């Protein structure tokens, strides 16, 4: 049962009622989060009238009809559906958060241990937040998270629970209740330090201590981010932003982390033996620390990248969860499992039909995103042999070589891309990137210009040419290309970077200020 768009249908022998929403944004919002269901019932005339009024968008009459149905049939199994809809009308149509909260709370209390309770938890907390009743909202979210975390019916997702956690913590932050923030993060991490959200939770716990000006506790918890989750972006962020504080406050030695990161890069670029040597150095230095667990998994990952045996790695991860108390060191376990499953699925499809192009697309993608680039190359090369006019294979083959730093092979693949897709600006853009990463900016400029000659509205070449010309000190060309890039793509990180660069070039000089 999912929690998306829905309808309720009453099944009768002689007639049917269908509660169905079509083409109405308001109704889509109104019906959000309700589970689809088919319910058999007897005489529900008032409920049927409510459905009819809802379909007509006559919400006042719908409320009246549903309310009558609830009062006439307090024990009917459709009462929760009627109450839910009444609450949603008050919430989404009338913006009456107080009345909506009253109904959601009643719905929650009268339907303990059901899906209605799950959905009501969420919406009741939301209504209280909208009324700025932060403490009351927190008092709803806290037990809800504990209860939903133990649910096993498939309705409650990890993302949903994490969303509730974030809303609970937001309530605590609004009231500046740092003690509850710390307690909540500590409980979350104690219950499951290997969760996919654990690196972020550990980082936020440390940041909370920092906000409280407790540098020692902040440093101790930032150090745990690095030790337990060294693969995560949060560990990299700590290294970039808080390295000096960790050194001064807790005497943290960064040598092992630096070696770990070096080994990661070697593994990702196919230099497996060198990577294994460096990982072993880290393991010896951190044998009794969380980083040792991360090293052990990286060794498993290298064996997978060398062999391409997705099934073996998937089974290993599934059967050895207890061996990795902190997850896989910051690797997203669910994402990894999905990619490995994709490889296995593609292999099974290709065993039936070895000429199935889609199988090589899927296999190549999944190997690529698990950074098993040699195995991705094998899949894409097979794809080229079966579908020599398919530009996708040439492009991904090129980028697989790029990630292995085999730039000449990448350029050769991108030439194949140009040959089969000469009218696509991306063909020249990819070739330009191959030359740029190789360090040949002269050739990169030529191909970025060819991309723009093919399509002058293609944004990426303007951005990259701006970067190249900035490195060459050709500021007028920087301004021209980055300004055009911003006209085409005004949002995102690169737009911010481009604007910052333009601002620095357009800033008045000291002589201008003196004048």
DSSP state for residue 115 in the 8-state scheme: H
Structure tokens at 169: 């913590």
Q: Is 319 exposed, middle or buried (0-12, 13-18, 19+ CB in 10 A)?
A: exposed
Which pLDDT belongs to residue 224? 97
Give the pLDDT score at 33: 41
- The half-sphere exposure of 341 on its side-chain side, counting CA atoms within 13 A, is 8
Q: Which of 448, 435, 355 is nearest to 398 (CA)?
A: 435
Q: Which domains does the chain have, with CATH numbers?
A: 177-311 (no CATH), 332-421 (1.25.40.10), 432-507 (1.25.40.10)
pLDDT in tens, the chain (515 residues): 333 222 233 322 222 223 333 334 444 334 444 433 333 344 688 999 999 999 999 999 999 999 999 999 899 989 999 999 999 999 989 899 999 999 999 999 999 888 888 889 889 999 999 999 999 999 999 888 877 776 655 666 777 888 888 899 999 999 999 999 999 999 889 988 998 889 999 999 999 999 999 999 999 999 999 999 999 999 999 999 999 999 999 999 999 999 999 999 999 999 999 999 999 999 999 998 899 999 999 999 999 999 999 999 999 998 887 889 999 999 988 899 999 999 999 999 999 999 999 999 999 999 999 999 999 999 999 999 999 999 999 999 999 999 999 999 999 999 999 999 999 999 999 999 999 999 999 999 999 999 999 999 999 999 999 999 999 999 999 999 999 999 998 788 899 999 999 999 985 544 443 44
**Per-residue CA distances from 27 to 4, 15, 98, 119, 331 (Å):** 13, 24, 21, 18, 40
Find out whether 45 and 80 touch, Cβ atoms under 8 Å. no
Q: N- to C-terminal Cα distance for the chain?
A: 71
Three-state secondary structure readout of 1-54:
CCCCCCCEEEECCCCEEEECCCCCHHHHHHCCCCCCEEEECCCCHHHHHHHHHH
**For residues 486 and 495, is the Cβ–Cβ distance under 8 A?**
yes
Per-residue confidence (pLDDT) for residue 19, from 0 to 100: 32
**Per-residue tokens: 22:** 């079509």
Dihedral pair phi/psi, residue 38, rounded to 5°: -120, 120
Count Cβ atoms below 10 Å from residue 150 Cβ, excluding itself: 7
Over 274-333, what HEC string results? HHHHHHHHHHHHCCCCHHHHHHHHHHHHHHHHHHCCHHHHHHHHHHCHHHCCCCCCCCCH
**What pLDDT does residue 25 have?**
41
**Pairing assessment for the beta strands 8-11 and 16-19 based on DSSP bridges:** antiparallel
Q: What is the pLDDT of residue 153?
A: 58
Question: pTM for the complete prediction?
Answer: 0.76
Count of alpha carbons within 13 angstroms of residue 146, beta-carbon side? 8
Q: What is the pLDDT of residue 291?
A: 96
- Residues facing residue 16 across a β-bridge: 11
């Amino acid at each position: 049962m999912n929690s998306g768009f829905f309808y309720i249908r009453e099944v009768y022998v002689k007639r049917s009622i269908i509660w169905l929403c079509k083409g109405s944004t308001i109704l889509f919002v109104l019906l959000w989060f309700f589970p689809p269901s088919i319910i058999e019932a007897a005489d529900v005339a008032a409920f049927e009238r409510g459905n009819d009024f809802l379909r007509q968008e006559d919400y006042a009459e719908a409320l009246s009809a549903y309310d009558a149905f609830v009062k006439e049939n307090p024990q009917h199994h459709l009462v929760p559906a009627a109450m839910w809809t009444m609450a949603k009308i008050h919430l989404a149509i009338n913006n009456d958060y107080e009345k909506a909260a009253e109904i959601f709370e009643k719905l929650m209390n009268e339907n303990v241990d059901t899906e209605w309770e799950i959905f009501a938890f969420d919406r009741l907390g939301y209504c209280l937040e909208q009324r700025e009743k932060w403490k009351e909202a927190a008092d709803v979210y806290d037990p809800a998270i504990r209860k939903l975390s133990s649910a096993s019916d498939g309705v409650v997702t990890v993302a949903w629970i994490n969303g509730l956690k974030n809303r609970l913590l937001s309530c605590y932050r609004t009231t500046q209740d740092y003690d509850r923030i710390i307690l909540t993060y500590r409980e979350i991490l104690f219950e499951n330090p290997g969760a996919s959200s654990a690196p972020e939770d550990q980082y936020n716990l440390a940041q909370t201590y920092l906000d409280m000006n407790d540098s020692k506790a902040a440093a101790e918890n930032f150090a745990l981010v690095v030790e337990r989750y060294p693969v995560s972006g949060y560990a990299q962020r700590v290294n970039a932003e808080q390295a000096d504080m960790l050194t001064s406050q807790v005497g943290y030695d960064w040598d092992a982390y630096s070696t770990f990161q070096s080994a990661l890069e070697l593994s990702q670029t196919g230099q497996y033996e060198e990577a294994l040597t460096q990982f072993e150095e880290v393991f010896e230095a951190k044998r009794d620390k969380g980083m040792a667990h991360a090293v052990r998994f990286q060794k498993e990952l290298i064996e997978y990248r060398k062999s391409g045996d997705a099934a073996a790695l998937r089974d290993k991860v599934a059967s050895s969860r207890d061996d990795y108390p902190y997850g896989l060191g910051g690797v997203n376990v669910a994402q990894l499992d999905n990619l490995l499953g994709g490889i296995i699925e593609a292999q099974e499809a290709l065993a039936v039909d070895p000429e199935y192009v889609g199988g090589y697309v899927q296999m190549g993608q999944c190997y690529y995103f698990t950074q098993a680039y040699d195995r991705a190359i094998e899949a894409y090369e097979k794809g080229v042999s079966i579908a020599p006019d398919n530009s996708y294979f040439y492009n991904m083959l090129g980028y697989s070589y790029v990630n292995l730093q085999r730039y000449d092979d990448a350029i050769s693949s991108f030439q194949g891309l140009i040959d089969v897709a000469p009218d696509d600006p991306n063909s020249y853009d990819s070739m330009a990137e191959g030359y740029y990463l190789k360090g040949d900016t002269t050739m990169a400029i030529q191909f970025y210009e060819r991309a723009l000659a093919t399509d002058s509205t293609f944004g990426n070449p303007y951005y990259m040419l701006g970067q190249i010309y900035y490195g060459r000190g050709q500021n007028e060309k920087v301004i021209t290309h980055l300004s055009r890039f911003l006209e085409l793509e005004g949002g995102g990180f690169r737009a911010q970077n481009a604007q910052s660069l333009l601002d620095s070039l357009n800033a008045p000089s000291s002589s201008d200020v003196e004048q």
